[in-house]
Amino acid sequence: MPKQSPVPTELDQPFYDACNEDRLVVQHCGPCNRFQFPPRMMCARCGNPGLTWRQVSGRGRIKSRVVVYDSPVSTLVPEQPFNVATIALDEEPDVIMLSHLPGVPVDQVPIGAAVEVIFETTPATGQKVPEWRLAGS
């Protein structure tokens, strides 16, 4: 489904630059040895401002989902009803990303199933964004 083009900020530019190279990167805190997303200026746990960006596998699992029947975003109305699922990364289950689970009917979302990242080009600017599909599909 068509997605809006994000406008990268100084904070999340590395994330979106990597998306354009079909790579998923997430901030990592060395002292805590943990990943965090969405990007922040510092570690949410210990306050370390020296976060680095690390590439992750792009594999995760479906943690939960809702079905949207009445979106406030006009460009999404023709796609209704659609999935919004939370994806927990394999490297750090506390890191959650969102997905529409393209190709998965709204009443057939397999909670707990393995998923893998793909990158979709948004029409307005050509910026790529992460999306998720069932692994092996």
Q: Binding of Zn ion at residue 45 (CB under 5 A)?
A: yes
Nearest distance from C-beta of residue 22 to Zn ion, angstroms: 28
Q: What is the DSSP string of 27-66?
A: EEETTTTEEESS--SS-TTT--S--EEEE---EEEEEEEE
Phi, psi of 60 (to 5 degrees): -160, -170
Nearest distance from C-beta of residue 27 to Zn ion, angstroms: 10
Q: Binding of Zn ion at residue 75 (CB under 5 A)?
A: no
Pairing of strands 96-99, 82-89: antiparallel
Chain residues 13-42 in contact with Zn ion, contact rule CB under 5 A: 29, 32
Please identify, among the stretches 4-12, 43-51, 54-62, 116-124, the one whose residues bind Zn ion according to the rule CB under 5 A: 43-51
Query: Per the structure block, which two tokens stand in for 117?
Result: 């990242």
Q: Which is nearer to Zn ion, 26 or 43 (CB)?
A: 43
Query: Per the structure block, which two tokens stand in for 119?
Result: 């990158």
Q: Which is nearer to Zn ion, 46 or 66 (CB)?
A: 46
Q: Which of 46, 66, 67, 73 binds Zn ion (CB under 5 A)?
A: 46
Q: State the Cα–Cα distance between residues 111 and 83, nearest whole angstrom.
A: 12
Q: Binding of Zn ion at residue 48 (CB under 5 A)?
A: yes
Nearest distance from C-beta of residue 8 to Zn ion, angstroms: 24
Q: How many residues bind Zn ion (CB under 5 A)?
A: 6
| Cis peptide leading into residue 38 (ω within 30°) | yes
Residues at the site binding Zn ion, with contacts judged by CB under 5 A: 29, 32, 43, 45-46, 48
